[in-house]
Structure 1
Amino acid sequence: MRIVINGAGIAGSALAFWLRRLGHEVLLVEHAPRLREGGFVVNLWGIGYDAVERMGLLPKLLALQHVGSELRMVDRHGRTRGGYPASVLLKLAKGRMASLARSDIAATLYSALDDQVETLFGDSIRALHDEGASVRVEFERALAREADLVIGADGLHSRVRQLAFGPQSQFEYPLGAHVASWEVSGYRPREEGIYVAYTAPGRYIARCPLRDDRTLFFVLVRNEYLGGAIPENHEGRVAALAGAMTGTGWESDAILGSLALTDTVYFDSISQIRMDSWLKGRVALIGDAASCPPSSALNRASD
C-alpha cells in the first residue's frame, strides 16, 4: 500500500520502520524543517524496551542513555526532603530500562529507516479527500498525492485528527495545568546524575543534568497561576512563566533567569485525548494524536 504518515516523532518513525519492512511504500511528513532536538528525558522500559530490542536498536539507544543515580526532592531552602536512588527503578524493571531524551529515541528510530522511506521536512498535510478507494492528500508545499492510507502521528494538536475527525475541542480534556521545558549550557549548581526537584503549591520545578554540561529544566504550573491565556510568542511565554514561578523558593529565580540563554522553550497544556475510534475510512491515528494520556502529556517536551 501507499501510506502517508504525518509526524516524524517516535510513533511516526517507528510505524514507518515496520510498514517499510512489511513492503509498503511509505511517505513520512514532518512539519519541522529537521528532526526535533532536545525534549524531556523519559524512561524506556516494558513494551517499549522490548520493541526497540526487536528492531535491533537497543545497543544504539543504550549508548545514548543518561545514567542517573538519584531523584532528590528538596524544600525551598534546598534541603533534601525525600527521593530515591535510580537503582530502585532499575530493579523494578529487572535491569531492562534506560533513561533517554525523547529526541534521541526519535532520531535513532528515524536513522533506522536507512533512507528507504521518503521524507518531506518543513511540510504538513493541508487537506484530505477520502474518495473511498484512496485518499487524495494535499500538502502545504509539496504536490498532492494519492494514498491508500493516511496515518496521523502528529501529537496532541494533530492536523490529521482535525481534518478527518473534527476540531480538537471535541476530543481534548484539559487537566488544568501547563508544562514547560528548556535546556541551557553551563548552569550551576550541578550535581552529576542527580535529578533535583522542588514543589510549591500548584507548581513544580526541576533540573536534570545532561551530557556536555547541559541542563534540562522542567516546570509544571496549574493554570490559575498563569494569569489567563498563554501567548504564542517566546517573549510572552517567558513572561507567563516568570509571573507564575518567581519567588516560589529554591532555585526558581535562577532557573527562570536561564530562560534568557535560550530561544527554544516548549510550553503546552497538559491534556488527554479521548476518542471512540481511531479509524475513519482510510485515515487512522496513533500515539498522542489518538490517545494522549497524562503521562505522555508530561513528556511531550520534544513535540
Structure 2
Amino acid sequence: MTSPRVLISGAGVAGPTLAYWLARHGWRPTLIERASGLRSSGNPVDVRGPALTVAEKMGLVPALQDVATTARSMGFYDRAGHRFARVPTPAGRSAAGTPEIELPRSDLARVLLQAASDAAEVLFDDTITTLQQDAGGVDVTLGRHAPRRFDVVIGADGLHSAVRRLVFGPDGTFVRHMGMYVATTVLPGPVQSPGDVLMHNTPGRLVAVHPGRDHAMLGFFFRHPAAAPGHRDPEAVKRFVAAAYTGVGWQVPELLEQLHAAPDLYFDAVSRVQLPRWSQGRVALLGDAASCLSLFGEGSSLAMAGAYELAQALGDSPHDHALAFERYEAAHRSRVAPKLRNFGLVASLLVPRSRPGLTVRDLALRLLSRGRNSGP
C-alpha cells in the first residue's frame, strides 16, 4: 500500500516536529516554507512539560542544551540605569520548579528542522496558492513548484497562516489583536551580561536584553492603539518602534540604533487566534495558526506537544483523517485553554499599562528581590 502523503505549511517549530513524527508513522511529509531560509531573530522560548518529553523521545535534548541561553536572573533597571530588583531564575527550571530548556526560537527551529530533514522533503521560498479538496485528497498549487496532490494538508504557518486564510476564511474573522506589539532582533558582538536578562519598563513599554550563548537578543514589547505597518516592511517597522519609545531613558536610544542597523527583524502584533474548529475536511491547523499565544515563549512548547499529538492520531488512523483530527483537537484544546485564560495576567505583569500599575509591580519586585537575596 502506498504511504499517505502530507503537505505541512511552515518550517518553524510545529511543522518540523510534525514531519519528524509522521515520517516515523509511515507518512511521506513535505514541508513548505515561505521564507528563503530560517530566521535568526525571535524571542527566547521554553521547551517544557510535554514538549520536553517530545524532545527527549526525538533524542534532541543534548542539542537543545548546547544552544540554551545562559540567563540565571532577571534584573530590572530604572531610567538612570540603576538596578532596583534582581530575581533569580533557577538554571534549567521554570519559576514553578519544573524542568525546562530556554533557547532562542531560531535555534529551536533549526534543531527540529535538521531532525526532520532526513525523512521529509523541504521546499523553501514557496507558498500554497490554492487548495481544492475532494473525497480522495487535496490538489495544491504552489507559487514556484508544480501542482501536487496530497492526502491531507496541515497549516503550521503561524499567526498569518495562508492555509487558514484559504480554507477557513480571512484573518479578521479569527485573529484578535491584543493591543500590543513585539519587535526582536539579535545584537552583534559578545554577550555583556551572560547571566542576566536586563529589563526596563515605562508604562505600556518594556525593553529586554536577553543573553544567548554567543550573542544577546533584543526585544521591544509595547502597547499601542494604532495599526502597525506590515511586518514585511522592516524599515517602516523600525520607524514605528522608534516612535513608540520616544523619550524613554536607560539604554533605549543606543538599543534603537542597533535595531535600525539590524539585518533581520521579527515584528508582529501580539494576538489571539480563536476558531470553533481546527479542521475542515482534509485540512487541519496546528500551532499558532490554530491557537496563537504570541507572547513570551509559551507557544513553542504547545506547538511541539500539539504536533506530537496530531502525528500520533494520524499514525493510528492513517485512512480516517476526520477521526484523527477530532482526537487531536479534543486532546490539545485542553492544554491550550488554560494558557489562553492566563494571557492577560502575564501581559499586565510584564508590561503594566499605567504608572500606578507599574509602581505596584515594581514594589512587588523589590520585595521579592530582597526576600530572595536575604535568604540562606
Give TM-score, length-normalised by structure 1: 0.91
Residue 92 of structure 1 deviates from its aligned partner by 4.9
Partner of 1:133: 136
Alignment of structure 1 residues 79-228 onto 2, 5 Å: 79-87=82-90, 90=93, 92=95, 94=97, 96-186=99-189, 190-212=192-214, 214-224=215-225, 228=227
Residue deviations 1:133-187, cap 9 Å, x none? Answer: 1100110010111111000000000000000100010001110111100112138
Residue 114 of structure 1 deviates from its aligned partner by 4.4
The whole-number CA distance in structure 1 between the counterparts of 2:234 and 2:90 is: 38
> Given that residues 270 and 297 in structure 1 are in contact (C-alpha distance below 8 angstroms), is that contact kept between their aligned partners in structure 2?
no
> Given that residues 246 and 256 in structure 1 are in contact (C-alpha distance below 8 angstroms), is that contact kept between their aligned partners in structure 2?
no
Residue 89 of structure 1 deviates from its aligned partner by 7.3
The whole-number CA distance in structure 1 between the counterparts of 2:35 and 2:291 is: 22
Residue 194 of structure 1 deviates from its aligned partner by 0.6
Partner of 1:52: 55
Please state which structure has a larger fraction of its residues in strand: 1
1:11 to 14, 32, 42: 14
Q: Residue type matched to 2:229 in 1? A: I
Partner of 1:241: 241
Please state which structure has a larger fraction of its residues in helix: 2
The whole-number CA distance in structure 1 between the counterparts of 2:91 and 2:119 is: 40
Residue 78 of structure 1 deviates from its aligned partner by 1.6
The whole-number CA distance in structure 2 between the counterparts of 1:16 and 1:161 is: 19
The whole-number CA distance in structure 1 between the counterparts of 2:244 and 2:193 is: 26
**Cα gap change, 1:283 to 1:95, in 2 (>3 Å):** closer
The whole-number CA distance in structure 2 between the counterparts of 1:258 and 1:36 is: 18
Classify the secondary structure of the residue corresponding to 2:218.
Answer: strand
Residue 51 of structure 1 deviates from its aligned partner by 1.0
> Given that residues 288 and 299 in structure 2 are in contact (C-alpha distance below 8 angstroms), is that contact kept between their aligned partners in structure 1?
no
**Cα gap change, 1:274 to 1:205, in 2 (>3 Å):** same
Q: Which moved more, 1:29-38 or 1:2-11?
A: 29-38
> Given that residues 161 and 289 in structure 1 are in contact (C-alpha distance below 8 angstroms), is that contact kept between their aligned partners in structure 2?
yes
Task: Say how many residue pairs are matched.
Answer: 296
Residue 27 of structure 1 deviates from its aligned partner by 0.8
The whole-number CA distance in structure 1 between the counterparts of 2:271 and 2:297 is: 6
**Cα gap change, 1:132 to 1:61, in 2 (>3 Å):** same
> Given that residues 70 and 211 in structure 2 are in contact (C-alpha distance below 8 angstroms), is that contact kept between their aligned partners in structure 1?
no
Residue 234 of structure 1 deviates from its aligned partner by 2.0
**Cα gap change, 1:159 to 1:21, in 2 (>3 Å):** same
Classify the secondary structure of the residue corresponding to 1:112.
Answer: helix
Classify the secondary structure of the residue corresponding to 2:15.
Answer: helix
Alignment of structure 1 residues 230-269 onto 2, 5 Å: 230=229, 232-269=232-269
The whole-number CA distance in structure 2 between the counterparts of 1:296 and 1:287 is: 15
Residue deviations 1:29-49, cap 9 Å, x none? Answer: 111112232321112211111
Indicate the percent of aligned positions where both proteins have the same amino acid: 36
**Cα gap change, 1:298 to 1:78, in 2 (>3 Å):** farther
The whole-number CA distance in structure 2 between the counterparts of 1:252 and 1:4 is: 43
Q: Residue type matched to 1:112 in 2? A: A
Residue 112 of structure 1 deviates from its aligned partner by 1.2
What residue ranges of structure 1 are gaps of 5+ in the alignment?
A: none
Aligned-pair Cα RMSD in Å: 2.0
The whole-number CA distance in structure 1 between the counterparts of 2:91 and 2:210 is: 18
Residue 210 of structure 1 deviates from its aligned partner by 2.4
Residue 291 of structure 1 deviates from its aligned partner by 0.4
Q: Which moved more, 1:261-270 or 1:151-160?
A: 261-270
Q: Residue type matched to 1:286 in 2? A: L
**Cα gap change, 1:233 to 1:187, in 2 (>3 Å):** farther
Q: Which moved more, 1:124-133 or 1:35-44?
A: 35-44
Residue 230 of structure 1 deviates from its aligned partner by 2.1
Q: Residue type matched to 1:218 in 2? A: G
Residue 131 of structure 1 deviates from its aligned partner by 1.4
> Given that residues 76 and 248 in structure 1 are in contact (C-alpha distance below 8 angstroms), is that contact kept between their aligned partners in structure 2?
yes
**Cα gap change, 1:62 to 1:185, in 2 (>3 Å):** same
What residue ranges of structure 2 are gaps of 5+ in the alignment?
A: 301-376
Classify the secondary structure of the residue corresponding to 1:137.
Answer: strand
Classify the secondary structure of the residue corresponding to 2:53.
Answer: helix
The whole-number CA distance in structure 2 between the counterparts of 1:299 and 1:245 is: 27
Q: Residue type matched to 2:251 in 1? A: E
Residue 266 of structure 1 deviates from its aligned partner by 1.2
> Given that residues 179 and 298 in structure 1 are in contact (C-alpha distance below 8 angstroms), is that contact kept between their aligned partners in structure 2?
no
Give TM-score, length-normalised by structure 2: 0.74
Partner of 2:25: 22
